[in-house]
Structure 1
Amino acid sequence: HPADDWTRHWTGSNQNLCSMVRIDGKVLRLLSRAEERFPKMESAGVNVQPTRTIYEFAGGGVALTLTFTTPLLPDDLNVMSRPVTYMTWEARTYDGKEHDISVYYDNSAELVVNSTDQKVLWSRVRVADLDVLSMGSQDQRILERSGDDLRIDWGHFFVASPRSQNAVTACVSADAARSTFVEHGTLPASDDLRMPRQANDEWPVLAMVLDFGKVGKTAVQRHLILAYDDQFSIEYFHRKLRPYWRRDGAEIGDLLAAAEKEYEDLSARCRAFDEKVGHDLLEVGGQHYNQLARLAYRQALAAHKLAVDIDGTPLLFPKENFSNGCISTVDVIYPAAPIFLLFNIDLMKASVRPVLDYAQRGRWRFPFAPHDLGTYPQANGQVYGGGEKTEENQMPVEESGNMLILMAAIARVEGSSAFAEKYWGILTKWAQYLKEKGLDPENQLCTDDFAGHLAHNVNLSLKAILALGSYAKLSEMMNKPDEAKVYRKIAEEYAAKWEQMARDGDHYRLAFDKPGTWSQKYNLVWDGILDLRLFPPDVAQKEVRYYKKMQNKYGLPLDNRKDYTKLDWTVWSATLAESREDFDALISPLYDFADQSPSRVPLTDWYDTKTAKQMAFQARSVVGGVFVKMLADEKVWRRWSVTSK
């Protein structure tokens, strides 16, 4: 029930939104633990869709629906980049009577500070046809902090109601707002002007009360707009970048006005998008896959920031959440890639473009691809491992392979190598590196760096071989037949050697020099998606048969060393299956994990397959990789790519 706990930021810190309903003078809680002296309105279900979460309640003869809608429509970058969520309450009666209904909303100042000892200010804002309240930190330390366990403490939060709803509004303490609603069904007549003050000093809130009047069997609806204006989003090599929605000079008033004007249209578009995505998910992967991917959609996109460069070019920056806080980590971009390759190739290009531009700069002096661009939100140069100074603790084969595969994927979706041509020099350098170092990798880290260094990594070798095949494919598309022939031959020879070196009876090893071991070969999924066909089909099917024997109650371990797994990689491994039966056999335990895990956090991608407990990681963009099954169905991805703008 959404009233069982405080609403939280993805890091776990409280960022409270509160909602209650008053039915004929009786108060029931909808959202947040606030006012626990009152009962919760009985839950009648929850429905998670790609762009919406829908809570159903019932009680006292009233059916009430609370819908959160975030229009993350990938074919419309202007709308997708808006920092806007709609909250919609809809009420009707089912007992044949009319009931007097009003709804209460508030948000705490926790939403605008990193820690609650920071001071905040609040105000009213004049925007045509809207009642608007605003709140922000006093200090406004724009882009000053970087790290993982942080919350934004610059910019301003806004809540807006169309004037036609005649909302009662107030900027007061939480206790004053809530007690006035409980006792009188309204809010204090005057705002609290004692500011600035700490966010935890009598907990100042922005509050609104929406009166539904007498409600019968015909549904009555009210909505609010929640928005956050950060003004500047990313520091990109010491330049402050605006959010994409501001690219033509738009201000927060323009945003709020457009959000209200387009409310009905965007609500309809979100419903249509959700229905279409759900249909295709169900078609390609079944019900469990459908529900898992719907759960992952908003998280995958929300872990990115879409900014705009000075020339209007979109740049998409992921944060490595609940790990080290890196920005634009290549081995985070790689697992998240399927969602962008599927829904809008421009977003995929916007994600890799900052890495490619950085690698072309003179300051990146290594023959392999970088790992990251810094620590979020400051993209000023790699900080992981040896950074820009040494090769210590880098991921040379991993990141070079990732970038080459992704560039080939972009070219396949676009049907053109034009994007790769701009960066051909560094792509060639990385291909040359993999030709020398990729078949039998030295002792180094891969994306699963929590497992430590590993020499002769079979799955990492697989990635390098597919990357060489990707480079050959790009060369062919660029009308470089000699280069294509050379690298295709190398990739084919390496694939044949790999099969011999990795073979271990009825499966393939974790490391070439470790008989009796095994691991997920999730990288193999690109052999089919990119139509490389470097490995015989039986390689994948042999692995799938073995995976079915080795999985635990909540999924397939990453390899033989530990019981933990990665959600994204397991979906990639399941996508290797030729039959729906085998795919379902590997996906159903993942659904059970998400449904039964005692770790109630934003969807984790790293958990124990026996206990379903989170190992670490949460709210990460990598869950976008769940959409790889749709990407692997050419008919489906071509259908979606046609609709991208």
Structure 2
Amino acid sequence: MVSTCSLWFYIATLILPVTVCAQQTFFPQAAVPLAIRSPHFSMWYNCPADTQPLSNSWLEFWNGATISWGGNIRVDGLTYAWMGQYNLQNSTANVTDIKITPTRSIFTMQAGPMNVTVTFLTPIEPSDWVNQSTPFSYISVEAQSLDGAAHLVQFYTELSSEFVTGIRPQGDQGGGLVSWQSSRTATSIYHQTEPEQPQPYAEVADQAEDGKGYLATTLRPGLTWAISRDTQHPFINFGNLSNAEDSTTSGPLGKPWYDVAFAVDLGNIQSTPSPVTWAIGYVRDPVVQYSTSSGTIELRRPYWTTRYSDIDTLIDAFLADYPAALRRAIAFDEKVMGDASKISSEYVDLISLVARQVMGGLDITVGSGDVTDATDVKIFMKDIGSSERVNPVERMFAAFPAYLYLNASLGGALLAPLLDHQSNQSALPYAAQDIGTTYPNVTGTHGPHSQGVEQSGNMLIMMYAHARVSGDGSLLAQYYSTAKRWADYLVSNALTPSNQDTADGESNANLTNLAIKGIIGVKAMAEISRAVQEDSDAEYYDSQANSLSSSWLSLAQSSDRQHLLGQYGDESSWAMMYNVYADLLLQTNMVPRDVLAKQTAYYQTLLQTEASHLGLPIDYVSALSKTATWTLLTSATVTDDGVRDQLIRYAWDRAATNKTTGKYPDVYDADTGDRVSSGGGVAGPALGAMFAHLALNVPNTTIVVPSSGTSRPNGAGTGNKSKSHVGAIAGGVVGGVVLLALIAGAATLIYRKKRRGGRSQRSLSPHRRHKEEEGSLDLTLPYPFEGDTDASGGGTPPPFVGVRSSKAAREHERERARLMHQPDRNMSSLFPLSETGHSIPSSEQISTGASSLPSAFLTGLRSEVEHLRRLVQGLREDRMQPPPEYSSTTD
């Protein structure tokens, strides 16, 4: 007899909707991110209007190409599909809920008497670059009885070789030649498939032709496997597989289809004791063919190879890490979604939708060799869904808020190859657009182009943004003259740009939005100069930026001074001033707050007069299209939360519509929502602009610049490996700082002796030498050291190092001994402690401590002390420089 509970359950099954698409409060434009790990590993679920859900659809590569990855659950002998398009006699599982977080897509569905939860987890771990670069993703399945009874449950998943080649069957003709095999480790079993004749660094229909696909799981009771033309029917009939490969190990892609598959028999259960988990991966090694600035070719390897020497070790570690990886992912999701919820719930949805593709557009690499070097890091971005270019500067600029929020060191490693290639190319006064036209072939920069203001502004803004958030100033020092070249170009061309194109493909002269980007770039150069202690340059670029911004305000504002024009002098013109975002991000204050407030009020008017149901166009010129990237940057510049939320809502509306197919594009028609192919892309990292609001709240860090950075020619080594330019230093910072205090005491003693008539006039050179009649006193500081410790536990300073007359040396040592044995005259009482715990006097403090000396003498003394102080600071910063891959802006 059927129980009342069971009867209710089966009635409910009949009335449940087949598809959840129309039910969702937020369903992301009919495309859900599933496993997005790298530019060539990007798998999605597509559910446009009026079609079946995940349980009756094959997955897709980002460009829409089918990837036959499926899954079934067998309950009491009846088989239900929970992923994939199968012609089953029984049924598909009915999807009842979908939840999307930054790292996970979670499907809840019903398969007969069992509730099934399918979780796709792609970890985002921006502060662990081994984990982040690991080219694997998880899928786990759990089941729970709905009627309280135990049921016989078996799970199944299969994958075809469409994963590893873009060459698809044409009619009866086969596709690309592929091979397959199964392997076992001590704890895992995995299937591998790859092109039979790999084509290094080549793509077909956007898919790489030199990678290997993997489907793996942990060895466990009830596990069976097969590689065969027919793996599903044995599972449907018996709930298990043959544990064997067909005799054929390779062949053309297509009919008869060969699949690699696993099945797990859980027996009679009310619920799964733990998730049934598989790992899917796509491995390319090397990943990038990189032509260096010197012309040599580097075959860059994935960063994970710095920890794992072979695929077996990697797979075992990845599978074993699932419980911990899930906990980390949940914590990451809670942090990111919590931060986003301070803006709006729609903003949470947008951030959750794009997070995986923002990170999945990158390859984190190290140099090749017998031993990989974890400090030799370069990151490469593919312009996915658009131009396929390598490290496209304008797309990096759009995505940069995400990297600043997640870990600003990602931005530095992205900038590094761009800067490396341009450091020795002084023929172009402006920044390049990219470093290659066809990913993953990094051929270097290109010739002249018409985006000089656009790309130079982008590069300077990103360089300074990376340094001020990460604290790593090595790129600023190493490529200082390159940055100056771009800044000088902007000084001459930013205010009234002509014959210039924008990132949106517009070429009108005197575009207000383009001009302010260049001006902010000049101001960023002033801050870069200040960071590397090039004070005269800082003053120059400050002056230029202030003058340019003043002129810009007079040209850019409407005649009534109530809003900004899209083009100088055209009172009917307007634009989304998304480039003003950089001013807020860098806190450069080029655009006054009252101007932003007036512009916000003007946006309110535009939203009523110019916006469609999917948002505001970019400007008065591009009336047919808009970008989600620029909309989100603009929303972060307004002073009214209502206007902010409406702009975000427009982007959300476009993401939520299922009236168009494909992944969320960053450029689309404002009226229809259709993708605009010119200048836009899909499934790529540029949607990192969605993180614009979160990046504004990332704290800044003191920029640490190698002391010798500005004296080294561009491209010579890295900031982390720079050597100090203080050649004769031989002791420690502590001992050196003691000497700074002794200068004041020694100078006082010398002056007193002069007043007694015993000495001739002395002078202090600003070039580190104190000359006297009997010899010269070398004030060179010692190398950092840990001082000897006496019985009392105190540190003993090192002896004074330098060439001097014996009389001067004796006099100095007597004064040094006197000072060190007077507790009220040690350094901590003379000068306050610095952040390192060492006392470093300023020139003003020297003036106060030796006020009895004549002003001319004090002027020279202050100059000398200030110089020595900079040397000590440089040494301290050089020692404290962190490896970029471990810098993080998140807790």
Normalization by structure 1: what TM-score? 0.93
1:95-145 CA-to-partner distances (Å, cap 9, x unmatched) read 1111111111011110011212110111111322112111111001121x2
Deviation, structure 1 residue 361: 3.1
Q: Secondary structure at the match of 1:623?
A: helix
Do the aligned partners of residues 643 and 360 (structure 1) sit closer, same or farther apart at CA in structure 2, a change above 3 Å counting? closer
Q: Secondary structure at the match of 2:379?
A: strand
Q: Please tell me the residue identity of whatever aligns with 1:493.
A: S
Which residue of 279, 291, 295 maps to 2:338? 279
Matched, 1:626 2:690: yes
Residue 528 of structure 2 is matched in structure 1 by: 474
1:273/1:186 CA distance change after superposition, 3 Å: same
- Provide the residue aligned with 1:549 in structure 2: 605
Structure 1 residues 636 and 434 mapped into 2: Cα distance closer, same or farther (>3 Å)? closer
> The residue matched to 1:349 in structure 2 has which SS?
helix
Q: 1:361 to 1:198 in 2, by over 3 A?
A: farther
Q: C-alpha distance in 2, partners of 1:226/1:146? A: 21
Q: Which amino acid aligns with 2:616?
A: L
2:414 paired with 1:357:
no
- 2:568 maps to a residue whose letter is F
Structure 2 residue aligned with 1:123: 181
Does 1:5 pair with 2:57?
yes
Q: Which residue does the alignment assign to 1:320?
A: 383
SS of 1:320's equivalent?
A: coil
Does the aligned pair in 1 maintain the 2:469–2:699 contact within 8 Å? Answer: no
Structure 1 residue 187 displacement after superposition: 2.6
Correspondences of 1:188-337 after superposition (within 5 Å): 188=242, 190-217=244-271, 220-237=274-291, 238-248=297-307, 250-283=309-342, 285-310=343-368, 311-312=373-374, 313-337=376-400
How much has 1:189 moved relative to structure 2? Answer: 5.4
* Deviating 4+ runs (over 4 angstroms): 217-220, 634-638, 640-645
Tell me how far apart the structure 1 counterparts of residues 254 and 352 of structure 2 sit (CA, whole Å). Answer: 35
- Give me the whole-angstrom Cα distance separating, in 1, the residues matched to 2:303 and 2:110: 40
Q: How many residues align?
A: 629
Is the aligned partner of 1:583 residue 2:644?
Answer: yes
Q: 1:138 to 1:576 in 2, by over 3 A?
A: same
* Higher mean C-alpha deviation, range 512-521 or range 129-138: 512-521
SS of alignment partner, residue 510 of structure 1? coil
Q: List per-residue Cα deviations over 1:21-75 (Å, max 9, x = no partner).
A: 1111122111122336553211121111111111111242211111111112111
> Following the alignment from structure 1 to structure 2, what is the Cα–Cα distance between the partners of residues 250 and 453?
51
Give how far 1:524 is off.
Answer: 0.4
Secondary structure, counterpart of 2:538 in structure 1: helix
3-state DSSP of counterpart to 2:143: strand
Q: Secondary structure at the match of 1:435?
A: helix
- Do 1:340 and 1:347's aligned partners in 2 also have CA atoms closer than 8 Å? yes
**3-state SS, counterpart of residue 468 of structure 1:** helix
CA distance in 2, matches of 1:37, 1:517: 62
1:598 aligns with 2:654: no
- 2:75 matched to 1:23? yes
The question of whether the paired residues in 1 share the 8 Å contact of 2:308 and 2:314 is answered with no
Select the residue among 463, 473, 484 that pairs with 1:407. 463
Classify the secondary structure of the residue corresponding to 1:615. coil
1:614 alignment partner, SS class: coil
What is the CA–CA distance in structure 2 between the aligned matches of 1:59 and 1:507, rounded to whole Å? 58
- The percent identity for this pair of structures is 25
The offset of 1:379, in angstroms, is 0.4
Q: Given the alignment of the two structures, is residue 100 of structure 1 paired with residue 100 of structure 2, yes or no?
A: no
Contact 1:605 1:622 in 2 (8 A): yes
Q: 1:160 to 1:373 in 2, by over 3 A?
A: same
CA 1:259/1:354 → structure 2, altered by over 3 Å: closer, same or farther? Answer: same
Kindly provide the amino acid, as one letter, of the partner of residue 305 in structure 1. Answer: D
Tell me how far apart the structure 2 counterparts of residues 146 and 226 of structure 1 sit (CA, whole Å): 21
Bigger shift: residues 426-435 or 114-123: 114-123
Question: Secondary structure at the residue paired with 2:71?
Answer: strand
Aligned AA (1:624): G
Q: Deviations over 1:243-270 (max 9, x none)?
A: 1111356211111011122121111111
The structural deviation recorded for 1:301 is: 0.8
**For residue 360 of structure 1, what is the amino acid of its counterpart?**
S
Q: Distance in 2 between matches of 1:124 and 1:464?
A: 56
Q: CA offsets per residue over residues 183-205 of structure 1, 9 Å max, x none?
A: 22223454222242111131211
Q: What secondary structure does 2:60 align onto? A: coil
SS at match of 1:8: strand
CA RMSD of aligned residues (A): 2.1
Give the C-alpha shift of residue 571 in structure 1.
0.5
Q: 2:129 maps to which residue?
A: 77
Structure-2 separation of matches of 1:225 and 1:63: 22
Offset of residue 472 of structure 1? 0.8
Measured after TM superposition, the shift of residue 484 of structure 1 is 1.3
Larger Rg: 2
Q: CA deviation at 1:548?
A: 2.9
Residue 342 of structure 1: CA displacement?
1.2
Answer whether contact 1:29 1:38 (CA < 8 A) is retained.
Answer: no
Matches of 1:427 and 1:112, distance apart in 2: 41
Q: What does residue 343 of structure 1 align with? A: 406
Equivalent residue number for residue 141 of structure 1: 199
Kept after mapping to 2: 8 A contact 1:345/1:644: no
Q: Would you say the 8 A contact 1:598–1:613 is kept in 2?
A: no
Match of 1:494 among 540, 545, 548: 548
The structural deviation recorded for 1:513 is 4.5
Contact 2:526 2:541 in 1 (8 A): yes
Superposed counterparts of 1:535-546, under 5 Å:
535-546=591-602
| Counterpart residue type for residue 571 of structure 1 | L
Secondary structure at the aligned position of 2:276 is classed as strand
Q: Distance in 2 between matches of 1:81 and 1:105?
A: 25
- The structural deviation recorded for 1:295 is 0.5
- The 2-side partners of 1:36 and 1:578 are apart by 56
Q: Can you list the C-alpha shifts for 1:75-104, whole angstroms capped at 9, x where unaligned? A: 111101000111100111121111111111
Distance 1:636 1:212, change over 3 A: farther
- Partner amino acid for 2:501? L
Q: 1:430 aligns with which of 468, 472, 486?
A: 486
Match of residue 35 from structure 2:
none
Q: Distance in 1 between matches of 2:111 and 2:700?
A: 42
Point out where structure 2 has 5 or more consecutive residues left out of the alignment: 1-52, 169-174, 292-296, 703-885
Which residue identity does 2:199 align to in structure 1? R
Counterpart among 82, 85, 104 of residue 52 in structure 1: 104
| 2:617/2:624 contact within 8 Å kept | yes
1:369 lines up with 2:431 in the alignment: yes
| 2:492 partner letter | E
- After superposition, the Cα gap between the structure-2 partners of 1:118 and 1:612, relative to the gap in structure 1 and judged at 3 Å, is same
Q: What one-letter code is carried by the residue in structure 2 that aligns with 1:408?
A: Y
User: Whole-Å Cα distance in 2 between the matches of residues 445 and 512 of structure 1?
Assistant: 16
CA distance in 1, matches of 2:136, 2:236: 29
